[in-house]
């Protein structure tokens, strides 16, 4: 192992991280004008049970970043097996990622668009925005957690591709 003070090569960092398997989420919000924004995320994780906190890391250069910097609310949608199309849609730069997507909304959440038919859904209030280099770490308290009635197995992202879970051992 090299000394930790040496800067790791970007390709080596990406290659190492590509071995980290994760779930896939779509994170949404609404800006103060009520416009809908969202992005596909693999950097989502639970942080604390009491209080219930989660985090997600957002690229500061993302088109939707200003919306997540001004809105106090976000929705996290855990995608299920077979929802790769939805994951790709929210990972593409596009004017309206929500066109044709069935939406719900939650009272008191500033009109944050909520996706239906996902594996699980968390309705959250952003409590801190932390510096994460070229990303901003959004720390959020979960106000409501629900199972969405979507397919029962999660969508998995590993080695820069979508996968299904293998058989349990």
Ligand X SMILES: Cc1cc2nc3c(=O)[nH]c(=O)nc-3n(C[C@H](O)[C@H](O)[C@H](O)COP(=O)(O)O)c2cc1C
CA 71 – CA 68 distance, rounded (Å): 5
63 binds ligand X (CB under 6 A): yes
Query: Site map for ligand X, 133-162, x if CB under 6 A?
Result: ------------------------x-----
**Chain-centre distance of CA 162, in angstroms?**
15
39 binds ligand X (CB under 6 A): yes
Pick the binder of ligand X from 42, 75, 119, 150 (CB under 6 A).
Answer: 42
Shortest distance in whole angstroms from residue 99 CB to ligand X: 14
Pick the binder of ligand X from 93, 95, 102, 167 (CB under 6 A).
Answer: 93
76 binds ligand X (CB under 6 A): no
The DSSP result for 95-161, as a single string, is S-TTTT--EE--TTSTT--EESS-SEEEEEEEEEEEEETTEEEEEEEEEEEEE-S--SSB-EEETTE
Place of tokens 């070229």: 134
54 binds ligand X (CB under 6 A): no
Shortest distance in whole angstroms from residue 39 CB to ligand X: 4
Provide the greatest CA pair distance for the chain: 52
Span of 10-18, 58-66, 108-116, 143-151 interacting with ligand X by CB under 6 A = 58-66
């Amino acid at each position: 192992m090299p000394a930790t003070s040496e800067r790791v090569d970007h390709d080596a960092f990406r290659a190492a991280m590509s071995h980290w398997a994760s779930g896939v989420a779509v994170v949404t919000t609404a800006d103060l004008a009520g416009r809908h924004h969202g992005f596909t995320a693999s950097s989502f994780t639970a942080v604390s049970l009491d209080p219930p906190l989660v985090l997600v890391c957002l690229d500061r250069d993302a088109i939707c970043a200003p919306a997540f910097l001004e809105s106090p609310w976000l929705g996290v949608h855990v995608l299920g097996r077979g929802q790769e199309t939805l994951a790709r849609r929210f990972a593409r730069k596009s004017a309206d990622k929500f066109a044709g997507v069935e939406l719900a909304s939650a009272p008191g959440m500033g009109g944050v668009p909520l996706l239906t038919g996902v594996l699980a859904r968390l309705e959250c209030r952003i409590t801190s925005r932390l510096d994460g280099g070229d990303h901003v770490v959004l720390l959020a308290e979960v106000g409501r957690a629900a199972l969405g009635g979507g397919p029962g197995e999660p969508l998995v992202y590993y080695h820069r591709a979508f996968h299904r879970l293998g058989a349990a051992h």
